[in-house]
Amino acid sequence: MKKYIFIILCLNYTFNAHGNSADPASLWDKNAQLPGQKQCYIIHEKEVCFSDGNRKNIYSLPKEELKNLIHEGAKYVLNYPVNVTRLRLPKETMENFFQSDTNSALRRFIFKIAKKLTNFKSFNDIFSWLGLHHYPKTAQERGPNLIADMGELNQYHMGVSEFSNHHQKSMSFSCAACHSSNLFGVKVLGLTNRFPKANEAFILGKKVLKNTPTFIFKTVANPSPHDLDVFKEAKEAISFVGVKKPLVLGLDTSLAQVGLSLALREKDEYATMKYPKRNRHPLHYIPADSKPAVWWNLKYKTKWLSDASIISGNPVHTNFLWNEIGRGVDLYELEDWLIDNHQKVQALTAYVFHTEAPRYNDFFPQKIDITKAKRGEKLFLNNCKGCHGIYEKNWSRPDATELSYEQKLENHKVWYHSQTKTINVGTDSHRRKGMKYFADDLNRLKISQTIGTVVTPQRGYTPPPLIGIWARWPYFHNNSVPSLYEVLTPDFKRVKTYIAVDAHDKEKDFDQIKNGYPSPNKIRKKYRTDKDYFFNSAKKGLSNKGHTSMLLDEHGEEKFSHQEKLEIIEFLKTL
The binding site for ligand HEC (CB under 6 A) comprises: 173, 175, 177-179, 196, 198, 252, 254, 290-293, 297-298, 301, 304-306, 315-316, 319-320, 323, 348, 352, 380, 383-384, 386-388, 423, 425, 427, 431, 460-461, 463-464, 466, 469, 472, 475-477, 484, 487-488, 547, 550, 568
Nearer residue to ligand HEC within complex by CB, 146 or 550: 550
315, with CB counted inside 10 A (0-12, 13-18, 19+), is: buried
To ligand HEC, the closest distance from the beta carbon of 567 in angstroms equals 11
Minimal distance in Å, beta carbon 502 to ligand HEC?
A: 18
Q: Which CB, 228 or 425, lies closer to ligand HEC? A: 425
Q: Which is nearer to ligand HEC, 319 or 537 (CB)?
A: 319
Nearest by Cα to 560 from 425, 390, 375: 375
Closest distance of CB 136 from ligand HEC, Å: 20
**CA–CA gap between residue 49 and residue 207 (Å, rounded):** 50
Closest CA to 504 of 199, 133, 128, 130: 133
* Nearest in space to 476 (alpha carbons), one of 535, 401, 412, 532: 535
User: CA separation (Å) from 71 to 60, 79, 140?
Assistant: 16, 13, 20
C-beta of 451 vs 466, nearer to ligand HEC? 466
State the Cα–Cα distance between residues 255 and 439, nearest whole angstrom: 11
- Shortest separation between residue 267's beta carbon and ligand HEC, angstroms: 25
Shortest Cβ 466–ligand HEC spacing (Å): 6
Which CB, 106 or 445, lies closer to ligand HEC? 445
Pick from 232, 95, 109: which is nearest to 168 by CA? Answer: 95
> Is the CB of 408 or the CB of 431 nearer to ligand HEC?
431
Left (φ > 0), alpha (ψ -120 to 50) or beta: where does 224 sit? Answer: beta
Sequence-ordered list of residues with C-beta below 8 angstroms from that of 146, at least 6 positions apart, any chain: 70, 71, 74, 189, 351
CA distance 19 to 16: 9
Closest distance to ligand HEC from the beta carbon of 388 (Å): 5
Least distance to ligand HEC from the beta carbon of 83, Å?
Answer: 13
Residue number, 237 or 348, with CB nearest to ligand HEC: 348
Spatial separation of the C-alpha atoms in residues 231 and 218, rounded to whole Å:
10
Closest separation in Å from C-beta 496 to ligand HEC: 17
Contacts of 487 (CB under 8 A, 6+ apart): 475, 476, 481, 547
Q: How far apart are the first and last CA of the chain?
A: 51
State the number of CA atoms in the 13 A half-sphere of 463 facing the CB.
Answer: 20
Q: With respect to ligand HEC, which residue has the nearer C-beta, 143 or 434?
A: 434
Q: How far is the CB of 2 from ligand HEC (least distance, A)?
A: 40
Residue 80 or 217: the one with the smaller Cβ distance to ligand HEC is: 80
Candidates 392, 439, 445; CA nearest to 415 is: 392
Tallying the residues shown for the chain, one arrives at: 575
